[in-house]
């Protein structure tokens, strides 16, 4: 096994925390990973990993080697990308992770265009509302919204959306239309549990005025699809990103309430495995999504101005 492959196997083992996890990510057998680590330790004449019932830990030499090896692998990958050139064909597999509703509305409908641009690329899209471990699942890039709790992750902000108060015409036909944020306290609210932990207090701004309203409702939902279904069927009002209800805002199935008041915005991030430079494939996909969302933002802004 060549030196670079040994280094990549070692780095992957440290980052995943076990031989078996590294083997799954590298698509090799676990004995091959164990043999590579042993071969590397023999070549360096030093112990890099300590094995115990609790898992693997790096020795002092192993930690130093890990940090140097990770930088070296990044430099090699950058050199490969530079040699291929920006117009070089992307080849191989790209694994992407995104929230179910966001991907269904904004990514999957455009994926044909991305595949047409890169016909030698195979894309696997994992739809999951959870913030899964990218290394464990072999994810090249994940699309995540909101605040990033883990500051060690490599991330790039690619879009920002407004949050809106929305309701279906069927609901508004049975209830008074709120004129100020305080009116929402008298309405039935559909609370999204994934949004700030399912907070039942919504904060608004208009100019220099800031107000917070505690809302009440009989339904709390932990998935965006559930919020969409509840609002569209007239259960109540909800706060959601303009991305979540883009089709319904366009066709009138859902209406924006209190348009003169603003709520905290929400960011979309491209997140890469911790400690790794983004691959050319991941960067190309990130740029593609950024372009999609810029176009979506322009369409939504025009629509809401008309209203």
For residue range 75-115, list pLDDT tens digits in order. 787 677 666 554 457 888 899 999 999 999 999 999 999 99
Q: Where is average pLDDT lowest: 50-54, 116-120, 149-153, 154-158?
A: 149-153
| 222 lies in the same domain as 250 | yes
| 167 lies in the same domain as 149 | no
| 149 lies in the same domain as 297 | yes
**How many angstroms separate the CA atoms of 273 and 278, rounded?**
8
For residue 302, pLDDT over 90 is answered with no
Average pLDDT, the chain: 86
| 148 lies in the same domain as 277 | yes
Whether this prediction's pTM lies above 0.75 is answered by no
| 153 lies in the same domain as 280 | yes
**Residue 212: CB partners within 8 Å, gap ≥ 6?**
201, 202, 203, 204
| 71 lies in the same domain as 113 | no
| 186 lies in the same domain as 216 | yes
| 200 lies in the same domain as 217 | yes
**How many angstroms separate the CA atoms of 248 and 228, rounded?**
9
- CATH code for the domain in which residue 73 is found: 1.10.10.10
| 237 lies in the same domain as 199 | yes
Residue 249's Cβ-side half-sphere holds a number of Cα atoms within 13 Å equal to 26
Q: What is the DSSP letter of 59?
A: -
The pLDDT score that the predictor gives to residue 195 is 62
Q: In the structure, what pLDDT confidence band is assigned to residue 199 with cuts at 50, 70 and 90?
A: low
Q: What is the DSSP letter of 55?
A: E
| 199 lies in the same domain as 246 | yes
The burial of 146, by beta-carbon neighbours within 10 Å (0-12 exposed, 13-18 middle, 19 or more buried), is given as middle
Last residue within a domain, chosen from 28, 59, 83: 83
For residue 304, pLDDT over 70 is answered with no
The pLDDT score that the predictor gives to residue 239 is 93
**Residue 274: CB partners within 8 Å, gap ≥ 6?**
15, 134, 135, 150, 152, 153, 154
| pLDDT average, residue stretch 152-178 | 90
Q: Where are the alpha helices (DSSP H) in the chain?
A: 3-16, 19-26, 30-44, 60-84, 100-102, 111-117, 169-172, 224-232, 246-251, 280-306
| 61 lies in the same domain as 100 | no
| 217 lies in the same domain as 258 | yes
In the numeric block, which tokens belong to residue 23?
């083997």
The burial of 147, by beta-carbon neighbours within 10 Å (0-12 exposed, 13-18 middle, 19 or more buried), is given as exposed
| pLDDT average, residue stretch 250-264 | 94
Residues 287-299 pLDDT 10s:
999 999 987 655 6
The burial of 297, by beta-carbon neighbours within 10 Å (0-12 exposed, 13-18 middle, 19 or more buried), is given as middle
Q: How many folded domains does the chain comprise?
A: 3
- CATH code for the domain in which residue 253 is found: 3.40.190.290
- CATH code for the domain in which residue 133 is found: 3.40.190.10
Range of the domain at 227: 163-264
Please report the sign of the dihedral spanned by the C-alpha atoms of residue 200, residue 205, residue 208, residue 213. negative
Last residue within a domain, chosen from 63, 83, 103: 83
């Amino acid at each position: 096994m060549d030196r670079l492959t040994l280094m990549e196997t070692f780095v992957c083992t440290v980052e995943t925390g076990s031989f078996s996890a590294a083997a799954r990510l590298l698509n090799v057998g676990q004995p091959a990973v164990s043999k590579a680590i042993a071969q590397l330790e023999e070549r360096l004449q030093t112990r890099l990993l300590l094995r115990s019932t609790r898992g693997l830990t790096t020795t002092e030499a192993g930690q130093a080697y890990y940090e140097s090896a990770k930088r070296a692998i990044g430099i090699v990958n950058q050199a490969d990308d530079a040699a291929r050139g920006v117009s070089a064909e992307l080849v191989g597999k790209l694994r992407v992770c995104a929230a179910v509703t966001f991907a269904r509305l904004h990514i999957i409908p455009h994926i044909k265009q991305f595949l047409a641009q890169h016909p030698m690329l195979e894309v696997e899209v994992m739809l999951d509302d959870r913030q899964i471990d990218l290394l464990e699942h072999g994810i090249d890039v994940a699309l995540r919204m909101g605040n990033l709790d883990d500051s060690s992750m490599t991330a790039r902000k690619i879009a920002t959306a407004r949050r809106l108060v929305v309701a279906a015409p069927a609901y508004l036909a049975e209830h008074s239309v709120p004129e100020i944020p305080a009116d929402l306290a008298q309405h039935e609210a559909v609370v999204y549990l994934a949004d700030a932990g399912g907070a039942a207090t919504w904060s608004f701004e208009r100019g220099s005025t800031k107000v917070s309203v505690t809302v009440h409702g009989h339904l709390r939902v932990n998935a965006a699809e559930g919020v969409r279904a509840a609002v569209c069927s007239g259960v109540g009002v909800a706060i959601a990103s303009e991305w979540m209800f883009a089709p319904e805002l366009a066709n009138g199935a859902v209406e924006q309430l209190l348009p003169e008041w603003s709520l905290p915005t929400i960011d979309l991030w491209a997140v890469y495995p911790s400690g790794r430079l983004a691959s050319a494939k991941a960067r190309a996909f990130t740029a593609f999504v950024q372009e999609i969302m810029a176009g979506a933002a322009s369409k939504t802004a025009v629509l809401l101005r008309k209203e």
